[in-house]
Amino acid sequence: MGYDIERFLGQVNEGLLCCICRDVLEDPLQAPCEHAFCSTCIHGWLVHENICPEDRRTLLITQLRPLFRYMKNDLDKLEIKCGNSDNGCSMITTLENIDRHEHECGFGNVSCPSIGCSVVLERRNLNSHLGTCEFRTKVCPRGCGLTLLTKEDEEHNCIGELRTELELLRSEMICKLDDQNKEMQLRLDSQRSHMVQKSSHMQQQIDELRGQISRLQQDVRSLTNAERKRRQEMERMELEKQELIELLKGFQREADANKKGACRNCKRNEKITAI
């Protein structure tokens, strides 16, 4: 929105009026067609349109440029009354200086800066209000470091206040410690249950291995038994073998002896046949 034309002294050139609000240009921007607008007016317009509102030629936000320098100079030189003239300010200054003046104009309205105070008053009356404002604060003059409302000054008791503050801090600390404790407890619990799971899993594995070992031990035992039986069998067979060998040897000797007898006979018979 532009500046109300009523506030200006003397004639204002038509070219320095906004094509949208028809007031005197504020933060002016210019289209390629040379129509000029307040920055807020044209940005608001281009949200829904893409044409110049004056001649309906295509217009994009990126085509907007600052006002021609000579027009800007004319604009800046216009004389304008302070916006607080209704309150009694008689200041008349150029448009380029009006913002600075209004920012510090004694007839402008300001809110009391004290927290909790809702008084709105003219800037020139602020200091006298602050002298009596019941929400004005100050640091305790007796050195406890607390900020006091001025009206509390009389009944303020440093030691009592500090004690309350201390109690507050202590209970905060206790709460915090409690929270930390709970968190640690939760963490420990979850680790514990994890460990329990792990150990029961390991116990299962141990039990399985035990079962395997005892099965293996049984196998070993039965193998050992079989081996012992086999060895006994072998020994028994060895004995039988020895006995058989002895028997054979006996037969051999007997056979040999019989053969010698027969040969003697043979020789004798041979001689007889030879003769």
The closest residue (CB) to Zn ion is 18
Q: Which is nearer to Zn ion, 118 or 273 (CB)?
A: 118
CB of 58 or CB of 197, closer to Zn ion: 58
**150 contact partners, CB below 8 Å, separation of at least 6:** 133, 134, 136, 137, 138
Assess 149 for contact with Zn ion (CB under 5 A): no
Pick the piece of the chain touching Zn ion (CB under 5 A) from 151-159, 164-172, 220-228, 248-256. Answer: 151-159
Using CA atoms, how far residue 255 sits from 11, 34, 166, in Å, is 168, 152, 128
User: Phi/psi class of residue 145: alpha, beta or left (left: φ > 0; alpha: ψ in -120 to 50)?
Assistant: left
Least CB distance to Zn ion at residue 168 (A): 16
* Interface with Zn ion in residues 25-44 (CB under 5 A): 33, 35, 38, 41
**What is the DSSP code (8-state) at residue 68?**
P
Q: How many helices (H) and strands (E) does the chain have?
A: 5, 9
Residue 126 binds to Zn ion (criterion: CB under 5 A): no
Q: Which is nearer to Zn ion, 10 or 33 (CB)?
A: 33
Query: Which residues are registered as beta bridge partners of 28?
Result: 38
Coil, helix or strand for 120?
strand
What binding mask, one character per residue, do residues 45-64 give for Zn ion by CB under 5 A, x or -?
Answer: -------x-xx---------
* Cα separation, 257 vs 121, whole angstroms: 160
Binding of residue 84 to Zn ion (CB under 5 A): yes
Q: Is 16 in the site for Zn ion (CB under 5 A)?
A: no
* Residue 179 CB, nearest approach to Zn ion (Å): 32
Strands (E), the chain: 28-30, 36-38, 65-66, 79-81, 92-94, 109-111, 120-122, 137-139, 147-149
Between the alpha carbon of residue 196 and those of residues 53, 152, 200, 202, 209, the distances in Å are: 78, 62, 6, 10, 20
- Within 159-178, which residues bind Zn ion (CB under 5 A)? none
Which is nearer to Zn ion, 10 or 141 (by Cβ)?
141
Cβ at position 55, least distance to Zn ion in Å: 4
Among 92, 117, 126, 149, binds Zn ion (CB under 5 A): 117
When the beta carbons of 2 and 78 are compared against Zn ion, the nearer one is: 2
Q: Which residues bind Zn ion (CB under 5 A)?
A: 2, 18, 20-21, 33, 35, 38, 41, 52, 54-55, 82, 84, 89, 91, 105, 112, 114, 117, 119, 133, 140, 142, 144, 158
